[in-house]
Amino acid sequence: MRAVLALVLAASLTGVANPAQASTTDAAVAGSYVKVGYFTQWGIYRRNFTVKNVHTSGMADKLTHINYAFANVGADGKCFEANEAGVGDAWADYQKRFKASESVDGVGDAYNTPLAGNFNQLRKLKALHPGLKVQLSIGGWSWSKYLSDAALTPASRQAMVASCIDMFLKGNLPLIGSSVQGGPGSAYGVFDGFDVDWEWPASEGNTGNVIRPEDKANFVALLAEFRAQLDAYGAQVGRAFSLTAFLPADPAKIDAGIDPAVFGYLDFATVQGYDLHGAYEPISNHQGQLYSPAADPAPQRFSADQALQHYRAQGAPAAKLVLGIPYYGRGWAGVSSTNNGLYQTSTGPARGTYEDGIDDYKKIIAKSGPTFYDPVAGAVWKLSGTSFWSYDDARSIAQKTAYVKANGLGGTMVWSLDGDTATGDLTTAIHTGLA
């Protein structure tokens, strides 16, 4: 009976009328879903979130992949490391020596160790959790500026991919400054593949990004080059290397820059299921809603379901689509209590711990005020005084993981692990939902 009820619930969440039909789209076996979590390079600073926390929180046992954010690509179209604000943080990546109390295995980094920093901690994490894969994410919002140039020609694509493989898979990290960390092969074995976070091919992203209409075709060609070189290098060393990509939710950006041919080269693609709305808009709304309800005043009707269905309509295989879930919320200030703060005019972004308009899940749940859950939208929010916070909790995650299972999707991805609680409550909710 409980199995039948679960299918009925899944059908109701996805609009599938026939529970038997819904069951045919479930993943073949429990536990086959990918569960991806982004680890941010800069989380070790103000958030004091280290790789050790991924272990002590219990998250590592409940993830299949960690995406390390981010690697930068320079004006020459190649992957590189540097110690320059806004350009690169080699110190966090592989130079910082963690003390024993900060280290995953309780062993501090020696002064002359060839590899320290987050990379060495990730290597140690994998030793304790051998089923966990770690990918190096390239680009992101801030570092996608030159990806259009890197993808432009066969020669530029070959050079970019070769540089990334040399530095991060072969592990040939540069020696920078007076640090003794780095050198040939120093990071070999840390990364199991790449995650390409081009934000966005042929569409506006961060100010100053190079954008071309031909990015759509060149993105396919870039992934084909990655796949070819990864396979060739894998054959040399007897390993299989993974390739994934982070893709937009906005249908206009999908149409402009994402050819369904990309899925032929990817193990899977994570789809942005958040930042659908934010305090850059004047009206409070759900930032990560599963569905756009009838009352949604936004004309674009953004939702995770809208994005996923758009990919499906273009021919993307469901099993390669992975739903992105936020471990942070977006906040609007100065909203009225009408409709519990939802769809109300604001005075701007609410004050956040690290950035106005944004706060981590663990920070939001500590704020005062009532919380509300809309199962029609698949969304949660809190009205803290006159501040409206849109975020995800265990309730919306249960609905989203049911959606993943009922639609035969590949799994979930989260941005980012440092937003979860010290005991990994949200990661546990995903793990339970996809069991």
Answer yes or no: are the C-beta atoms of 288 and 232 closer than 8 Å.
no
For residue 109, give the DSSP letter: P
Answer yes or no: are the C-beta atoms of 328 and 391 closer than 8 Å.
yes
- Tell me the CA distances in angstroms from 26 to 19, 157, 432, one per residue in order: 11, 37, 16
**Residue 199 among the catalytic residues:** yes
Catalytic residue among 81, 84, 102, 199: 199
- Tell me the CA distances in angstroms from 397 to 157, 242, 433, one per residue in order: 38, 26, 8
Which helix (H) or strand (E) segment holds residue 407: the answer is none
Answer yes or no: are the C-beta atoms of 167 and 81 closer than 8 Å.
yes
pTM: 0.92
- pLDDT tens digits for range 99-153: 999 999 999 999 999 999 999 999 999 999 999 999 999 999 999 999 999 999 9
Type of residue at 198: W
- pLDDT tens digits for range 360-393: 999 999 999 999 999 999 999 999 999 999 999 9
- Return the pLDDT at 12: 34
For 191-213, give one letter per residue: b (16+ CB within 10 A) or e.
Answer: bbbbbbbbbbbbbebeeebbbee
- Return the pLDDT at 3: 34
CA distance 284 to 324: 21
- Return the pLDDT at 7: 32
Residue 249's beta-bridge partner residues?
Answer: none
- Return the pLDDT at 95: 98
- Return the pLDDT at 32: 92
- Return the pLDDT at 24: 30
Tokens of 345: 């005019």
Tokens of 401: 């993981």
- Return the pLDDT at 326: 99
- Return the pLDDT at 27: 37
Q: Domains in the chain, start-ordered, CATH in brackets? A: 28-326+392-433 (3.20.20.80)
Low-confidence ranges of the chain (pLDDT < 70): 1-31
